[in-house]
Structure 1
Amino acid sequence: MLRLIALLGLLATVVSGSQVTFADLNVPWDAPPHLDSTDNSLFSAVNSLLQRWPNTLYKNGASSMLCGNICFYTFPTTGHTIIPATMPIGTLLYHGHTVEGVPSVLEWVALDFEHAYLFCRQGPCYVVSFITTRDLRLAYFDGSSAIKWGNGTLDTQDMLTWGEPLSGRCTDEIQRIKNLCAWGKTFGLDGFVRMSYNFEVMVCDFSAGLKVVSVQNHLPKSVPELESEDDDLKYQPQSNPRPSAQTEEKPCPPMSRSSAIGPQPDPPGGWKGSLPEGYTFDFQPLVTGSWRNRSPGETRMHVDYSGLVTFYDTALASLIVSRRGVPRGHHRLLGISANDSARVHAELAEVFGRQTRGSGVDWGSVTRLIVERYAGRLETLRYTLEPVATFNLNATQQAALVRFQFLTMLVPYMTTDSVPTNASWTSSIVERCSTPSTSLIPASLLTPQERRIQGSVQGTLHEICRRLTVMWVDAFDIEAASEERAVVALENWRVHVKELMDWLGWSVWVDCNPACNPDAMCYLPSWPSFREGDIQDDMTPRCISSVSRAGQPTIWV
């Protein structure tokens, strides 16, 4: 009956347009998250903003799946977050091209020289450097939002540029930036931030807030000859500025490498030795991008959490329906209704037109502290539950070690009445454990977007604390249990820990193991710079050389 009441409560909340949290449902402490809860996805999105690794691994910007030592993901899906961002005064930006000149309007810039140098594919190489003369107002699309793929990485941008998410990938990027800048002009936006293997800024007007520092003619890059015509990757650009939503979901063929290959460039007078080799140097943006893999991520811009707009808002009922039964890696915005689309557009207009800021709570720090508190300990718990980790111990001894892990994580929330003689001993542990300090902030200080984040924090904490407490009840007297009971308990705990870590899906658990040598980097397949032999669906971390990749051609789009 309680569960039925909870479900009815959820339905009423969705219809009324409010964000659903576990606490809103008034369900028993040991009830699992509702099937349609997005607390874990929104929590992950907040914790991953401006970090390259999670937004490469989970290209939809929030969804995630723990997969142990080998990861297989459908490559890739769509970002779910649009958030205001600011780039401070005094930030350097770079624009690379084979033609001398300073861009005026509607162009892309990089935050690192190596990224701009990438666009000098052969021939002269002119890199213009700029410095911001004031804070730039930007909008940031999370996930791998610069990946031009057919699985939805551009969905959030499509919502702004064409009013609906589109299946086709071969959209006109010039038309896209024109539409985005036209929308942003209403709110005084200077540009938009996206990410693939590195972060980029789509600049709407180079005469506003930017000053040219230098225009330099850099060394040209040599390009190895192709071994055979079979290596040529054909590319046919599509000029249709507004593709149909029914376009077949497949990637555009990559740009022809041969189309960029002409006579080898002449070195400058007095130069000795080889010129920078194109395929090798084109790998360097991955290296510089990896510097922003983990927290604090890209520090040359700052997001405003009080304006975070998410398509994981459970008030968007049409997307709840479209996500049911669909693996999180396949979540798209294609199922959004006209009413829900209008709702998001209205929220974006309110957020970017807002003259005041929210509470000032650093929600990124709030989520990061939770990950820091539990990520390593949950991984230790999973390891302790493995037979290989407790060699020469019987089941009762191993269970006692696991009990210690539970106690370590829950003792901050236990009092002297946290024993079975107290009828509420379990629910009080969960309540203390899953109530973050941010719950004490007056609701009047929070924006609607912050209240969603607050709910996702509490919902995520609730599931962590619920699982730990369920296991603690079984472990409370395990030290005196029989061998048979300990065997059963250990197996149950393995299931609980796996399900919890799968549900959380934190990217901190996915890394190269063993760690890479100093001359290598931990790598995930990253469009448009796939390594030769990469399986684009296989997101297993691997060590690759960060010194040279000659003979490993870059696939360009």
Structure 2
Amino acid sequence: MRSPLSLFPLYSLLSLSGGLTPNDNSPPLKYANHIFNAIQDSMRQWGSSLHHNGVSFFLATVPAGTQLYHGTSKSSPVNGTEWLAFEPEHAMVFARPRRGPPPGAPPPGDDHDDPERPEGRHGELRRREPRGPDGRHTDAWPDNFGEDDAGYLHTYVAAEDLRLLYVDGMSAAKTSKGTLDSQDILLFNGSVGDRPDGGPAGENERARLACEMAENEWGGRIDGLLRMEAGFEIILCAFERDLTLLRITQVKPQDKDEFGPKGGHEHGGREGRKQDNDGKRRGPGGPPRGGPGRGPNSSRWMRAVTARYHGIGGNRVSLNYDHFVTAFSYDVDLFQDESGLPRLGHLSRSELEAIRRDITTLITTHDATEKSKDWQVIADMVVTRYSKDLSYFVSGKINSMEALQAEIERVMSPYIDYSDRNDVVEAQRCATQFLPPHSLDSESLAAHSVYSVAHSICSKLLEADKGTDFESAVQILRDLVDYLDWTTWKECRGCAPDELCVVPIWPMGTVQDYESPSCKNASNPYDQDGESYWGGMRH
């Protein structure tokens, strides 16, 4: 999509110092580092879990023939709108018998206006109502398992290329931290309301609104939404049109305790969870009803999820990086509190409408299947080139200015002409190392963002190298590391085969898991005390 004219001055970006060319004095792009990270994190469980408040929208394609999975209590094929998982273990969590409601109460997730699907058109893969109509936790309701009750795993293949709108970050997470801002505030214009029975704002409503937008506002050019929580998922608007059924298999019956912690809570069972005097939740960072819980079910799902930390794999999803929309490219302040998380709720109606219009323009003027430059692999080259060195430079293991200068020169020497030293030229050579020729001549936001971040790195390395005070030079590099905020610096090292690197993935995880991800036993990766990272579910 062509960038809005009002944004053109911003695209000339340059980082913390410098311009697109040595003579360019245009102002920098305000959030170049965040745009870079949105590109690098896209379709990756790890980066999207740490940078969980996504505010970017990409056209995505899932190629024909890709296998996708749906978990349900029904042995008949799905028609209409439902959820799909990329990993069978993800869908299998929801391949289970229906649980009964309290006497006289409707089942959670019911769509009363759909007589053909009494459990709700979108209820099977998204059974996430944490409380019943009487305010009780749903896992306290009796489980009505009949002898013939079973769960089923449906395996489908995409009949044709699926055209999707990818909402980045952890956009399927039902939190009050801002993970839903890009949908509820921006796409759906605040029209998703709380459920009258006391449950969280309905996923059914999001699916309905998304599919209405796809048909009415976007001219049928989008088949559904692509999102992430503990795994990537698709809200697909027309199963019968876009999928071919491969098989339906009955899954092994599971003990009811495997569905989630006994006593169910939106962040773990009531047993073992307490509140300290500060009012913060303590105890296992567990799931709500419908989450992975503990035991074999949890381990199976989380092993599959963490296998996709660094990419969905298999070319199962391709994104258009040449044309996308991100709130980070607009001249608005997205960081208005101390959380350090981007939020959209404070933006004016006109600011939100400008972004919403550009999403519509993106979808209606560009085909999801058109070829584009893979700017993610270029961003990866920048990260892999400098991540380890920058981490070393600020680690405290270098103890003198001379040693730091020697290390910086090692990194920068390919860009230096020792017969004619010129910092501006050297930074430019360094910043353009991985860029395709003439890429900065275009209006590509990805190109300019990658260049901006690379130029920040190169110019700050040169600035630190020229310093005379060791502590001041190291502080320049610390500030650079803070600015870059690469998720590679939180990756675990050396996890054993029976361990997982644990980071908060809604609805599980603690504050400690976010600040210092660590290796945990795969059989119970989230079974530990600590303050829940996510707090309460959004209600």
**The TM-score by the shorter chain falls in which range?**
0.7 to 0.9
Query: Aligned with 1:368: secondary structure?
Result: helix
Query: Aligned with 1:143: secondary structure?
Result: coil
The equivalent residue for 1:68 is: none
Structure 1 residues 99 and 529 mapped into 2: Cα distance closer, same or farther (>3 Å)? farther
**Richer in helix (by share):** 1
Structure 1 residues 97 and 409 mapped into 2: Cα distance closer, same or farther (>3 Å)? same
| Contact 2:57-2:165 at 8 Å conserved across structures | yes
For residue 137 of structure 1, report the CA deviation from its aligned partner.
Answer: 0.6
The equivalent residue for 1:192 is: 225
- 2:154 corresponds to 1:128: yes
- 2:479 corresponds to 1:468: no
For residues 18 and 36 of structure 1, what CA distance do their matches in structure 2 show? 5
Structure 1 residues 295 and 403 mapped into 2: Cα distance closer, same or farther (>3 Å)? farther
Structure 1 residues 132 and 374 mapped into 2: Cα distance closer, same or farther (>3 Å)? same
Structure 1 residues 159 and 232 mapped into 2: Cα distance closer, same or farther (>3 Å)? closer
The equivalent residue for 2:299 is: 283
State which of 200, 203, 215 in structure 2 corresponds to 1:170. 200
For residue 307 of structure 1, report the CA deviation from its aligned partner.
Answer: 2.3
For residue 113 of structure 1, report the CA deviation from its aligned partner.
Answer: 1.2
| Contact 1:117-1:127 at 8 Å conserved across structures | yes
Structure 1 residues 507 and 456 mapped into 2: Cα distance closer, same or farther (>3 Å)? same
Query: Aligned with 1:544: secondary structure?
Result: strand
| Contact 1:22-1:34 at 8 Å conserved across structures | yes
Q: When the two structures are aligned, how many residues end up with a matched partner? A: 452
For residue 453 of structure 1, report the CA deviation from its aligned partner.
Answer: 1.7
For residues 526 and 489 of structure 2, what CA distance do their matches in structure 1 show? 31
For residues 210 and 538 of structure 1, what CA distance do their matches in structure 2 show? 37
State which of 91, 101, 105 in structure 1 corresponds to 2:66. 91
Structure 1 residues 367 and 328 mapped into 2: Cα distance closer, same or farther (>3 Å)? farther
Pairing of 1:75-154 with structure 2 (within 5 A): 79-121=54-96, 124-154=150-180
Any unmatched runs of 5+ in structure 2? Answer: 98-144, 268-280
The equivalent residue for 1:52 is: 45
Pairing of 1:154-165 with structure 2 (within 5 A): 154-159=180-185, 161-164=187-190
State which of 349, 354, 360 in structure 2 corresponds to 1:338. 349
Query: Aligned with 2:461: secondary structure?
Result: helix
| Contact 1:222-1:278 at 8 Å conserved across structures | no
* Deviations 1:332-359, CA, capped at 9 Å, x for gaps: 0112222222222222122111256878
For residues 293 and 347 of structure 2, what CA distance do their matches in structure 1 show? 46
For residues 193 and 18 of structure 2, what CA distance do their matches in structure 1 show? 36
Structure 1 residues 370 and 26 mapped into 2: Cα distance closer, same or farther (>3 Å)? closer
For residue 125 of structure 1, report the CA deviation from its aligned partner.
Answer: 0.9
The equivalent residue for 1:364 is: 376
For residue 413 of structure 1, report the CA deviation from its aligned partner.
Answer: 1.2
Query: Aligned with 2:69: secondary structure?
Result: strand
* Deviations 1:421-465, CA, capped at 9 Å, x for gaps: xxxx22222222223554742677x4x5xx222221121122111
For residues 375 and 9 of structure 2, what CA distance do their matches in structure 1 show? 23
For residues 465 and 140 of structure 1, what CA distance do their matches in structure 2 show? 32
The equivalent residue for 2:265 is: 233
| Contact 1:221-1:278 at 8 Å conserved across structures | no
The equivalent residue for 1:500 is: 480
Report the residue type matching 2:200 in the other structure.
C
Q: TM-score, normalised by structure 1?
A: 0.72
For residue 467 of structure 1, report the CA deviation from its aligned partner.
Answer: 0.9
The equivalent residue for 1:310 is: 326
- 2:522 corresponds to 1:546: yes
The equivalent residue for 1:40 is: 33
For residues 226 and 369 of structure 1, what CA distance do their matches in structure 2 show? 41
| Contact 1:309-1:347 at 8 Å conserved across structures | yes
| Contact 1:33-1:463 at 8 Å conserved across structures | no
For residues 358 and 506 of structure 2, what CA distance do their matches in structure 1 show? 31
State which of 191, 208, 211 in structure 2 corresponds to 1:181. 211
* Deviations 1:441-493, CA, capped at 9 Å, x for gaps: 2677x4x5xx222221121122111111111223xxxxxxxxxx6xxx32122
Q: TM-score, normalised by structure 2?
A: 0.74
The equivalent residue for 1:516 is: 495
| Contact 2:61-2:164 at 8 Å conserved across structures | yes
For residues 296 and 224 of structure 1, what CA distance do their matches in structure 2 show? 30
The equivalent residue for 2:429 is: 432
| Contact 1:86-1:303 at 8 Å conserved across structures | yes
For residue 512 of structure 1, report the CA deviation from its aligned partner.
Answer: 2.2
Report the residue type matching 1:189 in the other structure.
I
* Structure whose alpha-carbon radius of gyration is higher: 1
